[in-house]
Each structure stands twice: as structure tokens, then as C-alpha cells.
Amino acid sequence: QVQLVESGGGLVQAGGSLRLSCAASGRTFSSYAMGWFRQAPGKEREFVAVINWSDDWIYYTDSVKGRFTISRDNAKNTVYLQMNTLKPEDTAVYYCRAASRGWYNSYNYKSTDFWGSWGQGTQVTVSS
């Protein structure tokens, strides 16, 4: 299992930017697809983005396309979420998540067995 710790959340005005980081433990991080989810108050947790272990397959939910960028640095065991042009509706707790096993290609991200470990979450608040 990969252990995950998110950071980088905070309060920002609409139109601003934040970069979230997710530090992972374990020597096999580079073999895991990684993703970001979020949960707004009173809503279900939703998928935001996923990146393959080799950066060759990335996918975003429609509401963040063109504004958010997921990336990873395998040398630092870290995955990032760069969030630009933030909107009040982006306010949520953001969670990092790892695939359930190594070498599981990220285009399977909708499969029921794809996702594994969760991080503890980091709060992002966008004021209008």
C-alpha cells in the first residue's frame, strides 16, 4: 500500500491559483497511476484527474479541463495538481489517491477495483 499526504490547500480569491502536492511513501510509487478527487460540502466525492505512471495517459473531469493540470515527479514520489482560474464551485476538500496496484493503466480509472489508498485531504476554499 502507498501512504499519501496532501498539502498546498488554502484560501484564494476567484481567478487565483493553487498547487496541491501529494507526497507518497514507498519505493514503488513510480509504478502507480495517481489521481485527485474532491468533495464539496453536502456533495458526494467526485473524480478530478488521473495520471498514468509514465505520464502517457491523463484524463480530467469536464469541469476542470483547461484550468487544472495533473503532473508527477517520480524522483520525489510526488504528484501535483496545478489549479488555475479557480472558481467558487471548486471549493472542496481535495484528496489524492493511488491505484490499487502497480502497473494498472490509468485508462481503467472507472473500474470498480482501480483505486486504492486515500490521503487525508486538504481544504481548498475559493472566495467570490
Examine the pLDDT at 1 and tell me if it is beyond 80.
no
**Residues 79-103, mean pLDDT to the nearest whole number:** 96
**Residues 83-112, mean pLDDT to the nearest whole number:** 93
Burial 90-119 (b: 16+ CB within 10 A, else e): bbbbbbbbbbbeeebebeebeeeebbbbeb
Q: How far apart are CA 23 and CA 2, in angstroms?
A: 10
Beta carbons of 16 and 80 less than 8 angstroms apart: no
Q: Quick: pLDDT tens for 17-35.
A: 999 999 999 778 889 999 9
Q: What is the pLDDT of residue 77?
A: 94
Percentage of residues in the chain having pLDDT higher than 90: 77
